[in-house]
Each structure stands twice: as C-alpha cells, then as structure tokens.
Amino acid sequence: MLKIENLHAQVGETSILKGLSLTINAGEIHAIMGPNGAGKSTLAYTLGGRPGYEVTEGSATFDGQDLLALEPHERAAAGLFLGFQYPVEIPGVSNLQFLRESLNSQRRARGEEPLSGAEFIKLAKEKAALLKMDMDMLKRPVNVGFSGGEKKRNEMVQMGIIDPKLALLDETDSGLDIDALRIVGEGINTIMRKPDKAVLLITHYQRLLDLVKPDFVHVLAGGRIVRSGGAELALELEEQGYEAVA
C-alpha cells in the first residue's frame, strides 16, 4: 500500500529525513517510535504534502501511485488520512457541515457521486453510534469547547466517515487520559483494523500499543529507520530506552 524508499526531506535549509525506507502492506499496523527531534512528524508532514517540506531524494508510492506528485487534497482523496496531537477548532462550522464537505470533495475527486444530505446523515449516525458519539456533538462547531476526550472521539468519527485506506496518526495519544486513550484505541481498531486498510502510528507510549497491537514496530532516529521488529520491540524500548536499542 505504502512504499517509501530512501526518502530525504528538508525544511528550509535543514535536512531532516536522511534515507528513510518503509513498506506498509494492506492489513498491517505499524508503529514508529523514536526520540524527540528524530523526524517523526516531518515524515507525517512530508507524506501529507505540507508546504515547506521538500523532498530532495527518494520516492513514496501509495497503491502504486507516486504519492509525492499529488497535491495534499489529492492524497486525501486517494485514501490518506492524517491525525495530529492537537485537533483544530473551527468556529462557525458545524462538524456535520465540515465532514459532509470533506467527504463529498473527496468523492468528487475520485469521480464518485457526492452523498445527498439524507444519505450523509444516515452515514454520520451510523459512524457516531459505532464510536459512541452523541449526534448532538456533531451539530456543534468543530471541536469548539470540546474536552480533550471529546476532540479525540470526534477525530475518530471523522476517520470513520472519511473511511481512509491508510491512517497516519502522529502522537494522537499524547496527553490523553485513560478514557480518551481507550476511545482512540477502540476507534483505530474498529475503523482501521481491516484487511484492506493500514495504519502508521507515531507514538512514544506502550499504553496505546497495548490497545492497538502493532504488527511491526520501527525506531526512527536521525532521519532514518534504524531498527524494526515486532510488537516486542516496543516493550524492549520502554525498558531500555532508545539509545540502548537503536
């Protein structure tokens, strides 16, 4: 699904990713761990196509397509979802409006019919129920006045409605209390643990990986993957620290 080869990327004059390679197949959950400043967020931003993140060498293909040649909205329409530590608030725009517009613009980009209002509400109700979110929350402005846990549940409902092929979640678990963490863990499992989907979780914490068991764990240090293993590698890292393991 995602094949990254020898990726080099820089922000301004600073080179951050220095030859990163990673392959993710459908049905797999991968975790990336690594010290602060290793380049984890840079990887997420580069794959998402954030302006200012310049690829200087290497390639990334998504379902065989040159991901790096696509505009950010085209990457989303192709099935890439990015989740971040701090979901943004959008005053004046309801969750339902925001989600319907996001979904339908992606559907149009894929040459699919946009959903009607009634079809969309049916889908939103289904996903909200699946993720135990009150429909009233979806009528409120995006994330405005939401607690940390509510923002996370909202993000999981967004992911459920958008229904991406690949979710790239950058420290989406940082700073969460136990309940919010469980919401995120269950959300990822419910929506994304499917044979035709994949997840790349960037995290510092084993506690998320107890809920979402990764098939592969990678250590990113100095802009490259320096070690890969199974779920046990995360436990080893937690016990011994990055320096001993990487």
Residue 214 and residue 223: Cα distance in Å, rounded? 21
If contact means CB under 5 to 8 A according to the sort of partner, which of Mg ion, ligand ADP, none does residue 14 touch? ligand ADP
Question: Which part of the chain contacts Mg ion (CB under 5 A), choosing from 38-46, 103-111, 147-155, 175-183?
Answer: 38-46
Complex with ligand ADP: residue 40 or 218, whichever CB lies closer: 40
Complex with ligand ADP: residue 183 or 202, whichever CB lies closer: 202
Among 37, 72, 230, 241, binds ligand ADP (CB under 6 A): 37
Please report, as residue ranges, which positions from 3 to 32 form the binding site for ligand ADP (by CB under 6 A).
11-12, 14, 16
Residue 221 identity (one-letter amino acid): A
Residue 172 as a binder of Mg ion (CB under 5 A): the answer is no
Residue 51 as a binder of ligand ADP (CB under 6 A): the answer is no
Residue 40 and residue 31: Cα distance in Å, rounded? 11
If contact means CB under 5 to 8 A according to the sort of partner, which of ligand ADP, Mg ion, none does residue 42 touch? ligand ADP
Residue 38 as a binder of ligand ADP (CB under 6 A): the answer is yes
- The residues of the shown chain that bind Mg ion, judged by CB under 5 A, are 36, 40-41
- The residues of the shown chain that bind ligand ADP, judged by CB under 6 A, are 11-12, 14, 16, 34, 36-42
